[in-house]
Amino acid sequence: MIMSLPEEDLTCPVCCDIFTDPVLLSCSHSFCRTCLKRCWDTGIRECPVCRKKASKSNPLSNLALKNVCEAVVEAKRNSVVVLEQQMNCSLHGEKLKLFCVVDKWPICVVCQTSKLHKSHECSPVEEAALDCKDELSLCLRSLQDKLEKLKRIHRTSADMFMYIKNQATETQRLIKSQFEQLHKVLYEEESTRLAAVKKEEQGKIARMKDKFKELSAEVSSIAETIAVIQTELKEDDMVLLKNFKDTHDRSKSLTLGSDDMSGVLIDVTEHLCNLKYRIWEKMLEHIDYSPVTLDPNTAHPCLILSDDLTSLHYSKQPGCCPDNPERFHMSAEVVGMTSLGSGSHRWVVDTGSNQDWLLGVASTSVPRNAEVSARPENGFWTLRFRDGEFMAMTSPPSLLTVSRTPKQVKVQLDYNKGMVSFLDPADDTLIYTFEQTFTETLLPYFYTQSSHPLRIMPEKVLVTMLRQ
């Protein structure tokens, strides 16, 4: 509390030093007793500061100020002693003139000859101080860089939070959209099959009604004939004989309709046999399979991906996306989401009117925050099309001659054989093949600076029945 007082408040205006035996005048100014006496010995009894006349009586001692000043002087004296102690060796009392580089501690000349430091490298404290300052400066810059990086991450954390929420909302919307499409197909198929049952029901009922009418007519006709015969049998013999031919012919002319009732029931088997499988098989006509799906978390901000993540194109207006480590920041690149570490893989890319693209594969460890050439030594095996020319991105790049410019390119990877091939899928004409022994997993790689899209072609799903 005492050391917190400004020292100028404890300084005599005459000697400009801390008060010694301070006295207080009626004007409230304080002075050292000896300083005030020296001023008054000139014959003028007035305040040396405000020139106010002082009384002839001796000034009163300022005991409170005296106690504070003595405490301050004592504290300064103690601090000097502590400082002197800090400058001396605590073991030998000698001045600390050396610095042990091994133990990183100041020592005296006696310590240097002791067993504890005899074999250690030592340097003068002046040189050691410069070296330590340089080392601490490097640490300071490193910590300042880390602090700035953390501050930058902290500043973008709110944006990252909102981006994650927007990602989740958009992903849910796309999932609902695709399920709505599937639901629509199912509802249409359900309606079609229910309508087929209804139609068959109406047809079978109509057939049964016609059959019922036919049977009713036959029953009525036979009943009338029976009644006629019964009447004739009651007539006289002559009348019976005269009417016999007509009655007999009438009874013989009656023929029964068909009594075949097969096929009149609903064909339940036709409607229910393997129903779920047949519906699923029908749905395959509306479903495509993409061998490669783009990873939006790796896409450069200027790349626009389609909702189904199978096509990309370049936009001069960068999108709003976070600065995450997986993202390509220097060039308009994106990779597929599935790592390829063994076996054979192939996909076809429709290049269309795009005149500036690179296709191929890249190692998972390729730098995302630095611009490097897409060449094998950097972990890229790619084919480039620019200014109407095909180039295999070897070191240096190799100009390729093709008989025609394909609108589609097939990328074919055989990881185990170490081969990346590019073909024209129209007739499987080989454009170029890289041969390399791969040491890490690969990812499908895409680059473009064209507004015309690159589109990964879908593949049809083939259903095969496994019979045991």
**pLDDT tens for each residue of 295-311:** 999 999 999 999 999 99
Pick from 214-223, 366-375, 424-433: least confident: 214-223
Q: How far apart are the first and last CA of the chain?
A: 95
Domain end marker among 243, 261, 286: 286
Residues 332 and 448 in one domain: yes
**Residues comprising the chain, all counted:** 468
Report the percent of the chain where pLDDT is more than 90: 44
Among 15, 14, 16, 12, smallest CA distance to 62 is for: 12
Task: Yes or no: say if 79 and 87 are a contact pair by the CB < 8 Å rule.
Answer: no
**Domain CATH code at residue 320:** 2.60.120.920
Residues 6+ apart with CB under 8 A from 7: 18, 72
Residue 413 and residue 271 in contact, taking contact as beta carbons nearer than 8 Å: no
Q: Which of 86, 111, 140 is the last residue in one of the domains? A: 86
User: How many alpha carbons lie under 13 Å from residue 20 in its C-beta half-sphere?
Assistant: 8
Domain boundary among 25, 59, 86: 86
Coil, helix or strand at residue 38 = helix
Taking only the tens place, the pLDDT of each residue in 51-76 is 888 877 788 888 888 888 888 888 88
Q: Angle at the Cα of 57 (from 52 to 58), degrees rounded to 5?
A: 95
152 inside domain: no
* pLDDT tier at 1, thresholds 50, 70, 90: very low
Q: What is the pLDDT of residue 203?
A: 92
DSSP state of 340: B
323 lies in the same domain as 449? yes
pLDDT score for 326: 93
Res 353 pLDDT > 70: yes
Residue 437 is encoded by which pair of tokens?
Answer: 């022994």
What lies within 8 Å, CB to CB, of 364 at 6+ separation is 339, 440, 441, 442, 443
Contacts of 108 (CB under 8 A, 6+ apart): 88, 89, 91, 92, 94, 95, 96, 97, 98
For helices 125-234 and 275-283, what crossing angle results, to 10°?
130
- Does 361 lie in the same domain as 449? yes
**β-sheet with 398-400: strand ranges across:** 333-335, 442-448, 356-363, 380-386, 389-392, 398-400
From 134-143, 222-231, 459-468, the region with the lowest mean pLDDT: 459-468
Q: In this structure, are 80 and 33 located in the same domain? A: yes
Do 328 and 442 fall within a single domain?
A: yes
Phi and psi of 334, rounded to 5°?
-160, 150
Note the Cα 196 to chain centre separation in Å: 48
Residue 21 identity (one-letter amino acid): D
Alpha helix (H) ranges present in 16-105? 33-40, 63-86
Give domain status of residue 216, yes or no. Answer: yes
Note down the domain range covering 313.
296-456
Say whether both 371 and 312 belong to one domain: yes
Rounded to an integer, what distance in angstroms lies between the CA atom of residue 208 and that of residue 211? Answer: 5
Question: Is there a domain that residue 116 lies in?
Answer: yes
Closest CA to 345 of 411, 417, 272: 411
Phi, psi of 437 (to 5 degrees): -90, 110
Q: Is the same domain home to 260 and 373? A: no
| Angle formed at CA 432 by CA 366 and CA 417, multiple of 5 degrees | 65
Q: Quick one: 338 and 410 in the same domain?
A: yes
| β-pairing verdict for 344-350 and 408-414 | antiparallel
pLDDT (tens digit, 9 = 90+) per residue, 430-461?
Answer: 999 999 999 999 999 999 999 999 999 998 87
The alpha carbons of the chain give a radius of gyration, in whole angstroms, of: 53
C-alpha angle 168-368-333 in degrees, rounded to nearest 5: 75
423 band by pLDDT with thresholds 50, 70 and 90: very high
- Distance CA(352)–CA(168), nearest Å, equals 32
Whether residue 375 sits in one domain with residue 278: no
Rounded Cα distance between 155 and 148, Å, is 10
Q: Which helix (H) or strand (E) holds 160?
A: helix 125-234
10 Å CB burial of residue 111 (0-12, 13-18, 19+) is buried
Q: Which residues pair with 433 in a beta bridge?
A: 421
- Residue 81's pLDDT band, with cuts at 50, 70 and 90, is low
pTM above 0.75, yes or no: no
Task: Answer whether residue 1 is part of any domain.
Answer: no
| Domain identity same for 304 and 224 | no
Query: Is there a single domain that holds both residue 277 and residue 306?
Result: no
What value does the mean pLDDT take over residues 232-257? 81
Q: Which helix (H) or strand (E) holds 216?
A: helix 125-234
Residue 135 tokens read as: 């080392």
Residue 270 lies in a domain: yes
d(CA 377, CA 374): 9
Residues β-bridged to residue 30: 24
In a domain, 314, yes or no: yes
Per the structure, the count of domains in the chain is: 4
CA distance 273 to 268: 8
Same domain (yes/no): 201, 271: yes
Residue 307 lies in a domain: yes
- Quote the CA–CA distance of 390 and 401 in Å, as a whole number: 7
Per-residue model confidence (pLDDT) at position 4: 55
Domain contains 197:
yes
